Amino acid sequence: MSSRHQGRGRDAVAPGQHRWAQAACCCVAAALAGCPQLLADDFLPTHETESDAGVQRGGTGGNAGAAAATGGGEGGSDGATGGSGDLPDASSAGASGAPAGDPTCNDGVRNQDETGVDCGGKACSPCNCVFGPFHDVVQVEGLGSDDRWGPMLSADGKSLYFSVQVSGDEQIHRAVRSDTGTVFTNDQPLADVNGSGLDGSPFISRDDRTLMFFSDRAGGVGSRDLWTATRASAGQVFGPAQLMADVNSTVMDLLPRLSYDGLTLFFESTRTGGSGNSDIWAAERATPNGPFDPPHPRADLNTASREEGFSLSGDQLTIVFSSSRGGNGMDLWLAKRDEPHGNFGAPVLLSELNSTADDLDPGLSLDGREIFFTTQRDTDYRIYHALRDCQ
């Protein structure tokens, strides 16, 4: 079980396995950026039975959350996001605070591979798109049979980072796929990152060079702390893990999620000063490589209940998170805001994703069309997946 659910046992189950066909994406080119439709094809579930000894996940908090700034934008669900793309200037410094030459999806400039200003392409939300509800909720195939949490998709959508229960400990794993809709393969632990205890809630930066995660390894200041490991380029091994400065407390800190512009770190903490047992906190910095200011609780998102795993869209206007505020265990909620550094409005329940069991750790894809999350609907904790389309 999730280590955030201490004391709740799990029964041995037969984990469901599903086959799902590749979703086809049809794009229509026009003078104005169009709305790429993502069509979910046949998802064919099959079920096989195997015995799986029930175990308890150690600690009181520690799995991943969803996806973060590397996750895709909400795509202007109010119909206002996007543009005709008549300002092709990739060199200007962005309004988001990112330096020149480091484009984002809210810098007011048509750059990257955008088809409009801050919209379209692989990095940003589709232009003139109003997303419909998520659909075709299925278990992700190819990730093994142990408990798994905190799916986080890489910027190119081809690598999935998550954590796995291993003999009472937790380790960070990575699996790969060739394209959206295809089965993940080559599920392997990150031997260059994992220690001998609990390592989880991985977040991979948009350039695929920095990994953030929680760990209870020696050298921290609390029961779980935020750590980071870097590498020179994608595909290489990560260097030694370093304790993140200025953000950890003497209690439990986990689920690091960095905004797409690199300026805001969201994470979960049980420190005092929040609203409930576990809360969403944030820390800002002036530049993507600068030090973080002191963390503060997100009062616009927190309640006296538990708020935990979360995923911030690429344009920073949408957040998906898990909360127990509904009285049905952990459920997935979505909230929006009008500008990247403002307060979020009242959240809405994502009823199309939730079950009567715990649903948590959402992770959006970069374009916002795909979501991964952890659920206990099959008794054990498994990673599920769903799609949504422009309407």
CATH fold label, 63-76+132-387:
Neuraminidase (2.120.10)
pLDDT at 107 over 90: no
Q: Tens of pLDDT along 17-63?
A: 333 333 333 333 333 344 333 333 333 333 333 333 333 333 333 33
pLDDT at 308 over 50: yes
What's the whole-model pTM score? 0.73
Question: What's the rounded mean pLDDT across residues 135-149?
Answer: 91
Question: What's the rounded mean pLDDT across residues 286-297?
Answer: 96
Residues facing residue 17 across a β-bridge: 46
pLDDT at 326 over 60: yes
Rg (Cα) of the chain, in Å, rounded?
A: 19
Task: Grade residue 120 by pLDDT with cuts at 50, 70 and 90.
Answer: confident
**Residue 25's pLDDT is what?**
36
- Mean pLDDT of the residues in the chain: 78
**Residue 4's pLDDT is what?**
43
**Residue 17's pLDDT is what?**
39
Written as six digits, the tokens of 73 are 């934008």
| Domain regions of the chain by residue span | 63-76+132-387
Alpha-carbon torsion angle 164, 306, 204, 135, nearest 10: 80
Of the listed ranges 40-49, 210-219, 233-242, 365-374, the one predicted with least confidence: 40-49
64-89 burial: b if 16+ Cβ within 10 Å, else e: bbbbbbbbbbbbbbeeebbbebeeee
Distance CA 185, CA 391 (A): 32
Task: Grade residue 386 by pLDDT with cuts at 50, 70 and 90.
Answer: very high
Q: Tens of pLDDT along 125-141?
A: 788 888 999 999 999 98
**Residue 38's pLDDT is what?**
37
Alpha helices in the chain (DSSP H): none
Task: Grade residue 330 by pLDDT with cuts at 50, 70 and 90.
Answer: very high
